[in-house]
């Protein structure tokens, strides 16, 4: 009976998308009502999945991989380690030269597609018509030779040097003794590693021919973690921009012969936005190619249980506990959640104390489940008593998100500077006073405006101002850089507020 279900029986989600994708109920746990998978699967032009960290990009990528394999499209999810290994094989420890960015991007993608074909050659040949088996086998065999030549074991003969030398060969005979002089010629051969891009055109032609018969999909994730830091002028940013361009062109080539085949890229939305300032023509490759995961696209309105974020959570609870199968969203929400938390609607609390991302809510609820495993529902008091632990986890999540762009010491000093104010709301000059009086404790902070702009952009702080309403009391208007209804640019002349989810950790 559903009355016997306790919190430890339910599954809310896993903050790590790869771990959740290994769940045996992944197919039914995955939230499919936003039609993002259908768009990725049906529209050949869509190949970039984007969104902030924690919005479900990896989950969508893994779901796409699984479903495509079920539909006989050979699919594989790969991450930065696969790409990095290819770089070590082809280039070594050095950076990718500027004039090789396109070639290496093409090589990285084609090599993965080629490996999928080779790994599945038995299946491919089994499904091939008898009359075509020999020709297909020859193509796969030739592709295998090309791939081998691209690895560390592929070398070209560079030079042959000839040298003559004389040697004495002794030969003894009973009739007469004689010594024969024998002329020998020595050959010295020198080899050099074959350049990885030497056979790219041949490789692409072979792969496209095979894709016409056997479609392939690859999903490339975690490229934002391929290097340590990224700036508008960094080589890494220019490489990523070129990688997107090359992927677009390969997909155009593929779709003409194999509509089901596709190369999919998973990119953080903040990173993709930065890359547009690096490339003068990136927009033409991305304008119709992006599927954006943003759970805050629509303002909060209506009943809490009809919101997409809550719908996603309730679906996971229902799937993980068959006893709840007969309950609709309204009934299940009433069974599992209080109507209010801290005096405000439950959904509004969840949105205010997060960045509206699935990972934030999953972390919040999992902390409660771990502390109160035997309770039957989430209660108001549980949220209050776990706020500090969740605030610490949320703070670390934002620091991790910022680490792609900034040094860890600078990030820590930014958070430390805010904590030294000891207030939820403050003015820019308050920050200046703290920095001036505590320079030895936060040495990285030299520009107050820059620090405030960065913290606003990542949702650590927001602008706040009072607004008049028809009612007697005044209301507060908040603006955060991560929200759709927030201003993109920080207002340095307005008051600031620390995000609700960070106040237990920073104030």
| pLDDT for the residue numbered 82 | 77
Encode pLDDT of 180-219 as tens digits: 545 555 555 554 455 777 888 999 999 999 998 899 999 9
pLDDT band at 166 (very low <50, low <70, confident <90, very high): very low
Residues of the chain with pLDDT > 70, as a percent, come to 86
Is 80 exceeded by the pLDDT of residue 64?
A: yes
Encode pLDDT of 1-60 as tens digits: 677 899 999 999 999 999 999 999 999 999 999 999 999 999 999 999 999 999 999 999
Structure-block tokens of residue 154? 């592929």
Mean pLDDT score, 104-126: 91
| pLDDT for the residue numbered 173 | 45
Is 70 exceeded by the pLDDT of residue 484?
A: yes
DSSP string, 329-369: HHHHHHHHS-SEETTEEHHHHHHHTS-S-HHHHHHHHHHHH
SS3 10: coil
Q: What is the mean pLDDT of the chain?
A: 87
SS3 39: helix
The span from the CA of 346 to the CA of 31, in Å, is 21
| pLDDT for the residue numbered 472 | 62
SS3 177: strand
Structure-block tokens of residue 491? 């207002």
Mean pLDDT score, 268-277: 90
The span from the CA of 329 to the CA of 327, in Å, is 7
Mean pLDDT score, 414-422: 96
Which residue has 């479900």 as its token pair?
A: 56
DSSP string, 206-224: HHHHHHTTS-EEEEE--GG
Encode pLDDT of 377-386 as tens digits: 999 999 999 9
Residues of the chain with pLDDT > 90, as a percent, come to 68
| pLDDT for the residue numbered 349 | 96
Q: Are 155 and 190 in contact (CB under 8 A)?
A: no
Encode pLDDT of 324-379 as tens digits: 999 999 999 999 999 999 999 999 999 999 999 999 999 999 999 999 999 999 99
Pairing mode of beta strands 461-467, 475-479: antiparallel
DSSP string, 97-161: PGGGHHHHHHHHHHHHHHHHHHHTHHHHHHHS-GGGHHHHHHHHHHHHHHHHHTSTT-EEEEEEE
DSSP string, 383-409: HHHTHHHHHHHHHHHHHHHHTTTS-HH
The span from the CA of 147 to the CA of 141, in Å, is 10
Neighbours of 345 (CB within 10 A): 15
Q: What is the pTM of this model?
A: 0.87
Mean pLDDT score, 273-286: 88
Q: Are 468 and 431 in contact (CB under 8 A)?
A: no
Is 70 exceeded by the pLDDT of residue 174?
A: no
| pLDDT for the residue numbered 180 | 52
Q: Using alpha carbons, select from 292, 395, 257 the residue that is nearest to residue 46.
A: 292
pLDDT band at 99 (very low <50, low <70, confident <90, very high): confident
Is 50 exceeded by the pLDDT of residue 105?
A: yes
Q: Are 395 and 93 in contact (CB under 8 A)?
A: no
């Amino acid at each position: 009976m559903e009355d016997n279900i306790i919190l430890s029986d339910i599954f809310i989600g896993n903050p790590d998308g790869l771990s959740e994708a290994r769940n045996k109920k992944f197919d039914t746990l995955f939230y499919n009502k936003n039609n993002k998978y259908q768009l990725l699967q049906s529209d050949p032009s869509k190949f970039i999945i984007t969104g902030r960290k924690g919005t479900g990009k990896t989950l969508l990528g893994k779901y796409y991989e699984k479903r495509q394999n079920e539909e006989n499209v050979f699919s594989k999810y790969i991450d930065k380690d696969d790409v990095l290994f290819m770089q070590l094989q082809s280039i070594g420890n050095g950076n990718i030269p500027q004039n090789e960015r396109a070639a290496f991007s093409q090589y990285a993608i084609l090599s993965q597609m080629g490996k999928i074909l080779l790994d599945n050659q038995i299946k491919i040949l089994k499904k091939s018509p008898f009359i075509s088996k020999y020709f297909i086998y020859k193509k796969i065999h030739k592709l295998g030779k090309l791939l081998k030549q691209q690895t560390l074991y592929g070398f070209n003969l560079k030079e042959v040097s000839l040298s003559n030398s004389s040697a004495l060969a002794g030969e003894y005979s009973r009739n007469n003794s004689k010594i024969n002089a024998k002329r020998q010629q020595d050959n010295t051969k020198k080899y050099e590693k074959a350049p990885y891009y030497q056979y790219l055109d041949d490789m692409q032609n072979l792969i496209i021919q095979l894709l016409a018969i056997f479609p392939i999909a690859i999903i490339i994730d975690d490229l934002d973690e391929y290097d340590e830091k990224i700036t508008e002028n960094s080589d890494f940013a220019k490489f990523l921009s070129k990688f997107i361009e090359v992927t677009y062109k390969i997909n155009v080539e593929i779709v003409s012969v194999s509509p089901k085949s596709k190369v999919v890229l998973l990119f953080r939305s903040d990173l993709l936005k930065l890359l547009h300032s690096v490339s003068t023509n990136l927009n033409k490759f991305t304008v119709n190619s992006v599927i954006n995961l943003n759970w805050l696209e629509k303002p909060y309105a209506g009943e809490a249980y009809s919101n997409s974020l809550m719908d996603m959570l309730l679906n996971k609870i229902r799937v993980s506990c068959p006893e709840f199968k007969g309950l609709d969203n309204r009934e299940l929400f009433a069974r599992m959640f209080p109507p209010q938390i801290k005096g405000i609607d439950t959904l509004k609390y969840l949105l205010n104390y997060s960045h509206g991302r699935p990972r934030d809510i999953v972390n919040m609820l999992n902390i409660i489940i771990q502390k109160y495993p035997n309770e039957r529902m989430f209660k108001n008091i549980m949220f209050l008593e776990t706020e500090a632990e969740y605030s610490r986890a949320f703070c670390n999540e934002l620091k991790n998100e910022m680490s792609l762009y900034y040094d860890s010491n600078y990030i820590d000093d930014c958070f430390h500077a805010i904590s030294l104010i000891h207030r939820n709301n403050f003015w820019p000059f308050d920050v200046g006073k703290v920095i001036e009086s505590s320079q030895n404790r936060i040495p990285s902070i030299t520009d107050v405006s820059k620090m405030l702009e960065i913290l606003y952009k990542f949702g650590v702080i927001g602008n706040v101002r009072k607004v008049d309403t028809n009612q007697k009391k005044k209301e507060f208007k908040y603006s955060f850089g991560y929200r759709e209804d927030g201003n993109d640019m920080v207002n340095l002349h307005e008051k600031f507020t620390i995000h609700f989810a960070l106040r237990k950790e920073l104030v």
